[in-house]
Amino acid sequence: MPTGTLDAASARTSLAALVVATPGRLDGYVRDCADGQACVFGQPWFDTDGDGCDQRSQVLARDLSGVTRKPGRCSVQSGSLDDPYTGTRVTTVSKIQIDHVVPLAEMWRSGAAGWPAEKRVAAANDLRNLVAVSGKVNQSKGDKTPDEWMPPNASYACSYSRIYVTVKVAYGLSVAPAERSALEQALTSCG
């Protein structure tokens, strides 16, 4: 669980306080920095804290066990992931991706379109929103919100929703009615 994630009770209270709104459009949204286009959330895996390790490496080091790094570098060479989304173990680092729990496209639709570039870069690289998962499940999730997708590992629904709400609250993002309903339901599984 990323540091700073709200506990279940705080997540429920915070979710109730979020502004409910219809998601905005994706006009102007560019995720990938290809063909000379500027990404609206900046360079992927930017080292926002200036410690010399990019955010991808930091998340891998945090979420994997038995980590070994490439000599003289921050990059993770090997380790094992107990994938929270599937409940399976992944032992090949190249098969692990970093998921934005609140997808960048959803951030854009729920408020980030109006932010300055620096705030978007900070949000895209916020360790509270980043979780190491298997590449296959990350691809199946894509830009879906909780009303459209939840982790196949049902026992992770509570944690997933707590992370999601933490990020929405931290950045003052709105929530769509169906999204809010799905989060409320998932948070009831927290016990």
CA 10 from centroid of its chain's CA atoms:
19
Helix (H) / strand (E) containing 36: none
pLDDT at 35 over 70: no
Closest by Cα among 30, 49, 26, 51 to 41: 30
pLDDT at 65 over 80: yes
Contacts of residue 44, Cβ cutoff 8 Å, sequence gap at least 6? 33, 56, 124
The average pLDDT across 117-145 equals 96
For position 30, what pLDDT does the model report?
83
